[in-house]
Chains A and B, each alone.
Chain A
Amino acid sequence: MAGRRVVVIGLGNPDRGDDGLGPYVAERLAGRLSAGASLKMRTGDGLGLLDDWQGFEVAIIIDAAAPVGAPGRIHRIELETSGELPVVSQTSSHGFGFDEAFALASSMNMLPGRVIVYAVEGNSFDHGTGLTAAVAAFAEEVAVRVVEEVAGLLAGDGPGPIST
């Protein structure tokens, strides 16, 4: 996939337990991504994502997800970047998250061509705590899958599965 530009963004708050998974994986990815890929962290204002992925063809987001039964379980989801606008509820002036950033970017044609999310089910999101062991144990697996995906994208492989 010569000429395609890929950005990997670790998203989350390191002071909120497993929400810090995204930045934690991003730290592990330093120096491991194929040449031509960019690595970023977004630990605060979600609106900044619009800048983070501006100009890139593919954005890979690593984020923690609400627990649905298996802490550490990895979900790879490729989001639909065209078509109907997702409905989100903006309830806080301070808390623009990924959902709001994606919806806002979608409505203004500011999304990359592809947005792939690695969502890892969290366990605890307490204030002032780090990752739980159950979730941290899967960080390296996420990192390896992202390294492989980026290499594949830059080598011109076709798209991966829509969801796993």
Chain B
Amino acid sequence: MPTKTIKVDYLARVEGEGALDLFIEGGEVKSANLRIFEPPRFFEAFLRGRSYKELPDIVARICGICPIAYQMSATHAVENAFGVSIGGQLRALRRLIYCGEWIESHALHVLMLHAPDFLGYPDGIAMSRDHGEIVRGGLKLKKAGNDLMRLLGGREIHPVSIRAGGFYHVPRKRDFEPIAEDLRRAHEIAVALLRWVGTFEFPELEQDYEFVALRHPHEYPFNEGRLVSSKGIDIDIADYESIFEERHVAHSTALHSVIKDRGAYLVGPLARYALNFDRLSPDVQALAGEAGLGPVCRNPFKSIIVRSVELVHACEEALRVIAAYEEPDRPFVQVEPRAATGFGCTEAPRGICWHRYDFNAEGDIEKARIVPPTSQNQPSIEADLKEVAGMMVDEPDDVIRHRCEQAIRNYDPCISCSAHFLKLQVHRS
């Protein structure tokens, strides 16, 4: 039986190294394997024996774009283990630095990495020739996020001021004055960006995802909440392992996460939005509606709109935290180690980032488990690819290739975080 192969050696505009194999038989897509061949980095192994005090600085090194996610999940796990709860302004500052990370990460992805797909440009640089004003605005938006991370974290990449119990240093109220002005401008830019992406044409695709995200009683989630799904899961984060499991697959150095009973699930902007629409402000909800979204979005290509909604939200939330900020008496609360297991789960830009650590009485790590968002989304990415390619099997290979790459970029995948990304091979028979 004749076989046809389409091959993309490396997917552009994602982070990390991997490949995609599409197997097409008799005009039907039999399988879509996301082949991740980047070597694992063994963070969980070399955390063993390290003190809880070193944990935030080590896990920050997992990712240059979303270090806050790893730092926040880790510090929450430490505090969970040692029986400490962070409230007041320290808690608010954690939301604020997370706003910074969402802003810089989403702005980069929406503008420089994802938008070119919808407008027919090979990349953001080529797009900037025709859309210079929007790109300049997006860079200002990204910078506002980076500035927040630098102010609170000491630097924007691998911040150094996060510690169990709070921060090594917190800003004075007047330190926020210039950044608040930039954030007001960033908010206007984010609203314009949302309206702009809402005008794009989107491929028709509705997927029956099981959305999984944190849900908090009052807030659109960053750091805290119960783990809920669109198909009835509602658990404490400590019970994650009772519902979800990671499996080895032959074609990937990243583990695949599934719901034990049902298989693939989806984390990230679409899931957060669908499960927490009512936690967005009326203004943000109205803007989402103007951009063409209902309270639930099941078209993965429209994730660019949802990310833009979250950009507006993050700017709004950051301004809210800054307006209410009063410098706390101390930048951290004291943490006393004890032998215990702690859990942390926070909303990275790409979805939930779940951590579990076993500590001994001195607070040294005996065992670590880190489940990043991209590894959780791999089965859903493959399901999307099978569906997307299935709708266009008779198209030329380069058309299939482009659309599949676009489908992968819907997820803003961070392969290095998950392995743990992209060559595309289509095998036709």
Residues of chain A having any CB pair with chain B under 8 Å: 43-45, 47-48, 50-51, 85, 88-96, 100, 103-104, 107-110
CB within 8 Å: A-B pair count = 70
* CB-defined contacts of A85 to chain B, threshold 8 Å: 125, 129
Smallest CB gap from B65: residue in A: A94
Distance from A45 Cβ to chain B, minimum over Cβ atoms (Å) = 7
In the complex, the answer to whether A107 meets B128 with C-beta atoms within 8 Å is: yes
Binding site secondary structure of chain A: loop
In the complex, the answer to whether B142 meets A90 with C-beta atoms within 8 Å is: no
Distance from B251 Cβ to chain A, minimum over Cβ atoms (Å) = 21
Task: Give Cα A91–Cα B421 distance, bound, in whole angstroms.
Answer: 12
* CB-defined contacts of A110 to chain B, threshold 8 Å: 136
Q: Which of A45, A50, A90 contacts B13 (CB 8 A)?
A: A90
Interface contacts beyond A93-B14, A93-B412, A108-B132: sample of 16 additional A-B pairs, CB < 8 Å, sorted by A: A45-B64, A45-B157, A48-B143, A48-B146, A51-B143, A90-B124, A91-B10, A92-B13, A92-B16, A93-B15, A100-B125, A104-B128, A104-B135, A107-B128, A108-B129, A108-B135
* CB-defined contacts of B64 to chain A, threshold 8 Å: 44-45, 94
Distance from B422 Cβ to chain A, minimum over Cβ atoms (Å) = 10
* CB-defined contacts of B112 to chain A, threshold 8 Å: 90, 93, 96
Contact A108/B128 with A44-B156, A89-B12, A94-B64 known, Cβ cut-off 8 Å? yes
Kindly state the interface size class of chain B when it binds its partner.
20 to 34
Q: Which of B308-359 contact A (CB under 8 A)?
A: none
* CB-defined contacts of B132 to chain A, threshold 8 Å: 107-109
* CB-defined contacts of B143 to chain A, threshold 8 Å: 48, 51
* CB-defined contacts of B13 to chain A, threshold 8 Å: 90-93
Smallest CB gap from A108: residue in B: B132
Task: Give Cα A45–Cα B412 distance, bound, in whole angstroms.
Answer: 18
Task: Give Cα A43–Cα B135 distance, bound, in whole angstroms.
Answer: 23
* CB-defined contacts of B393 to chain A, threshold 8 Å: none
> Which 7 A-B pairs have CB atoms at the shortest separation, nearest pair first?
A44-B157, A94-B15, A90-B123, A108-B132, A93-B15, A107-B129, A107-B128
Distance from A110 Cβ to chain B, minimum over Cβ atoms (Å) = 8
